[in-house]
Structure 1
Amino acid sequence: MHIYEKRRDIVSHVATLLKEQKTIGFVPTMGALHKGHMALVEKALKENDTVIVSVFVNPTQFNNSEDLINYPRTLESDVALLSKLSTNIVVFAPVPKEVYGAQMISTNYDFEGLENEMEGKFRPGHFDGVGTVLKRLFEIVSPTRAYFGEKDFQQLQIVKKLVELEKMSVQIIGCPIFREENGLALSSRNKRLNRKQLEASPLIYKTLKQVKKDFGIKSVIELNEWVSEQFKNNEILELEYFEIAKISDLKSIKEKQQDTKYRAFIAAFAGKIRLIDNIALN
């Protein structure tokens, strides 16, 4: 397994792959890898000649400095996990200077309003940081396909829009959410949850499943009120937002329309740890 820290080295390796007309699958991560990441890598291995996994905690997408400091960094164990899957994986683990150069500044993007919904309302500048780092990583890695989990569904839609706006040739592949047995969506942040928080966290997915079940018989207002009540009665989890939104533009709705696809989204805090999840409704 090749592990590169320098931009020039990964660029040289990629140039060789492209000269040999190899297809490249790319899985961008911030490390602290789990089974959800492994599922993305496994799919990429099946669909490409080789796979590159980036392990980079991107400073520009954190609007909370404490969250950036506390984000788990486990490169050694990440590499060990990947090596069990295949020797045909390349790891790119740069420091910020290798990605950004001397100036670590985000580009201001217009994602046609996608960036202003849900996460964008509560995390100012987050999607500018996401767009900036992914554009740079795509330029470095030159992937044929890039793989993203649907847990960050808004991010997935924004990445697709980024590729469209920047006229990049990479194909963006969305993959199903990988869950714990209790339904909790896998996230690197889950490692920071204490026992009580872990025990309480299945409420998020349980709530989403009930919303999906009731979507055809209850109004959006009724569903919003019901979800709010579920979290009011929970001492561990604090609801940040619940929204039912159109998949096309991610705008939240007050009434349902025929022939329109919807998804339900939740963000909640367990102490200082932020958890997100979503589910397709129809």
Structure 2
Amino acid sequence: MLIFDAVVDYIAGFDKDFRSSIEGASEQELAELEVLIGQDLPDVYRDFLAVMGRSTAWIDIQSLDFRIQTVLDYYRRDDALRVDEFLRIGSDTKDPTFNPHLQLSLVAPELKVVAFPGCNEATFAEMTARHLSQLAGSLPELFSRPAFRIFEIHGADRTPIGLLARKRVRGQVSLVDDLVASRYGLEPAFWSSAAVRGYSAPGIALEVAQLGGRSLELLLRVDDPSEQENIAAWLATQLDAEICSLSAP
């Protein structure tokens, strides 16, 4: 199974109409894009485009447009930036100078999704060194995480508990794996990346995200309110974290 078939199956488990509301790119569009960029598309990006490259339905990532037509229009331009390290995969509809890219210099298939201001070959090095920001640890994370948050963390009028760890965690999301696996039998979801982990089982869901540096943000939802408080207190002790207020989802 291709990774974005798994993404669609996951979201369709909550929204039965999701599969019929997305649309993939055509082979002709994929072939043209490969000609325009002068190389084969990364497998994970080709997979995404083939499954939902024309429409991602209600999955809305900030103000970003990931449609293949948008990417084709960009690479048809004479001033399109073509570099080995990054592949542009969309446009920011609110700030057209700050657009999403895949960071190709990383080991596939976990290619980070990043954004940086518009630039040319002369300003590329400076712009990426000073202004590059990470949007997601991978494409599957980028498109699965909204559904995870909506349906598993905040769904059914649930109120999750937030924790912020700044000290002994050292910014490594993977350090939480052993904690929750040993005590609760939870394993990271298939879409998890080095930057974000999602864990879920009947009655419990946990998201762990690296904010940068040594900070981790955790969102915990447990159906039993008293057990939710107990688990939050245990995690806070294990990770030297503090309970924090949550913003609206």
TM-score band (shorter)?
Answer: under 0.3
Q: Which of the two has greater helix per residue?
A: 1
TM-score by length of 1: 0.24
Give the number of the structure with larger relative contact order, counting CA–CA contacts within 8 Å between residues 6 or more apart: 1
